[in-house]
């Protein structure tokens, strides 16, 4: 890891933004991470934001606009009166929160216009709330508008523009538009690589997401190239394993089965050392390795690997997730037995 400040820590210095720890699997089926609300002036109170993809992160946040802050103060006053009267105070719902953000945005557009920094912030925050509620198309639409306005006002390389661009990339992924998302990740990767170098954690993050989007949109050779480069640059063992899993998926999709098997074997060995052979994450990779042998047309090796994984899973089946995986292992082991011509053993499992 290079010694230079990471992307978000640089934003902390320039704009007062809070850094976020972004840890996502390179091979998750669909992103679930929540977007970063953009942060604004330190003179406005900062709300407690909720996390996007998936993801389990503390996002960057931009404080709410003054109009909404005033509404919040009025709400607090009403709460005090309600408490004095002994009446219960209802918690605001996601819909109520979205409606408040919509009113704030309309007010700012009317008073300041669409390209005022406060309006851009409000639009980004509304899009973030839409994404958190699962209103994917509405989120994409608002992020696209916010990005176009940010580019016009701040320029392509401004930290606020980059935050909104990343939010839009995640929103495209959530909406099942990996090709559109890849266009945004390409720009983010190029800028982060220029500023902070290839080994910075945020540069690696952008490269990983670009590889995922390339894989999901069928650009498999490009995906493989970026996975391989990210594996060289990443410093974390866990992240390297995630990248190897993504790489193996891209290689498998492109028919490079032997290369995919090599990556899976490395991940399996690492997880056995760190987690033990009966851990769910270890067994999941063990299962994938067996299936990779089946897809490669190597049924005898598939039988050996799947049988070993099945036996380990049977001895570790206290976890409900392990029990479900055990059923899938049993099914795939029977298929491998059939592929190897060992029909009696396959029948005994079915």
Task: Collect contacts of 179-183 with beta carbons under 8 A, ≥24 apart.
Answer: 179/213, 179/217, 181/209, 181/213, 182/210, 182/213, 182/214, 182/217, 182/219
pLDDT per residue as tens digits for the range 210-230: 999 999 999 999 999 999 999
Q: Residue 12 above 50 pLDDT?
A: no
Lowest mean pLDDT across 70-84, 136-150, 219-233, 322-336: 70-84
Q: Mean per-residue pLDDT for 265-292?
A: 97
CATH class (in words) of the domain with range 7-257: mainly alpha
DSSP label at residue 50: P
Facing residues of 15 across strands?
A: none
pLDDT > 70? residue 61: no
Q: Which burial class, exposed, middle or buried, applies to 227 when counting CB atoms under 10 A from its CB (0-12, 13-18, 19+)?
A: buried
> Minimum mean pLDDT among 8-12, 84-88, 145-149, 281-285: which range?
8-12
Count Cβ neighbours within 10 Å for each residue of 76-112 and write b for 16 or more, e otherwise: eeeeeeeeeeeeeeeeeeeeebbebbeebbebbeeee
Q: Which of 21-25, 100-104, 212-216 has the highest mean pLDDT?
A: 212-216
Above 80 in pLDDT, residue 2?
no
- The CATH architecture of the domain made up of 258-350 is Alpha Horseshoe (1.25)
Higher pLDDT, 165 or 19: 165
Least confident piece of the model among 83-87, 114-118, 125-129: 83-87
Whether pLDDT at 21 is above 70 = no
Domain positions in the chain: 7-257, 258-350
Tell me the average pLDDT across 26-55: 38
pTM, two decimals, is 0.74
Alpha helix positions (H), 175-256 = 178-196, 201-216, 220-233, 237-253
Cβ atoms of 313 and 325 within 8 Å: the answer is yes
Element (H, E) at 287: helix 280-295
Q: Is the pLDDT of residue 271 over 70?
A: yes
d(CA 159, CA 157): 6
């Amino acid at each position: 890891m290079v010694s230079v400040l990471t992307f978000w820590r640089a934003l902390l210095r320039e704009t007062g933004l809070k850094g976020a720890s972004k840890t996502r699997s390179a091979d998750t089926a669909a992103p679930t991470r929540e977007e970063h609300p953009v942060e604004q002036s330190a003179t406005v109170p900062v709300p407690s934001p909720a996390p996007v993809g998936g993801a389990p992160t503390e996002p960057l946040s931009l404080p709410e606009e003054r109009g909404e802050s005033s509404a919040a103060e009025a709400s607090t006053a009403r709460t005090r009166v309600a408490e004095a009267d002994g009446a219960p105070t209802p918690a605001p719902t996601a819909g109520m929160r979205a409606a408040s953000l919509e009113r704030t945005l309309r007010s700012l557009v009317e008073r300041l216009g669409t390209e005022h920094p406060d309006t851009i912030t409000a639009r980004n925050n509304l899009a973030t709330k839409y994404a958190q509620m699962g209103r994917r198309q509405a989120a994409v639409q608002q992020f696209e508008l916010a990005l176009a306005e940010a580019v016009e006002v701040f320029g392509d390389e401004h930290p606020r523009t980059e935050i909104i661009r990343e939010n839009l990339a995640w929103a495209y992924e959530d909406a099942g538009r990996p090709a559109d998302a890849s266009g945004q990740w390409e720009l983010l990767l190029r800028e982060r690589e220029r500023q902070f170098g290839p080994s910075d954690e945020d540069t690696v993050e952008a490269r990983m997401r670009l590889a995922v989007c390339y894989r999901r949109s069928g650009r498999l050779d490009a995906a493989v190239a970026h996975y391989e480069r990210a594996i060289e640059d990443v410093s974390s063992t866990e992240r390297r394993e995630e990248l190897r899993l993504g790489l193996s998926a891209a290689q498998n999709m492109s028919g490079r089965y032997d290369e995919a098997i090599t990556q899976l074997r490395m991940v399996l060995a690492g997880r056995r050392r760190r987690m033990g052979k009966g851990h769910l994450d270890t067994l999941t990779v063990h299962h994938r390795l067996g299936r990779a042998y089946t897809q490669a047309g190597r049924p005898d090796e598939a039988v050996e690997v799947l049988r070993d994984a099945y036996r380990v899973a049977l001895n570790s089946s206290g976890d409900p997730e392990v029990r479900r995986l055990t059923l899938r292992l049993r099914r795939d082991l029977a298929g491998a037995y059939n592929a190897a011509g060992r029909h009696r053993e396959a029948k005994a499992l079915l």
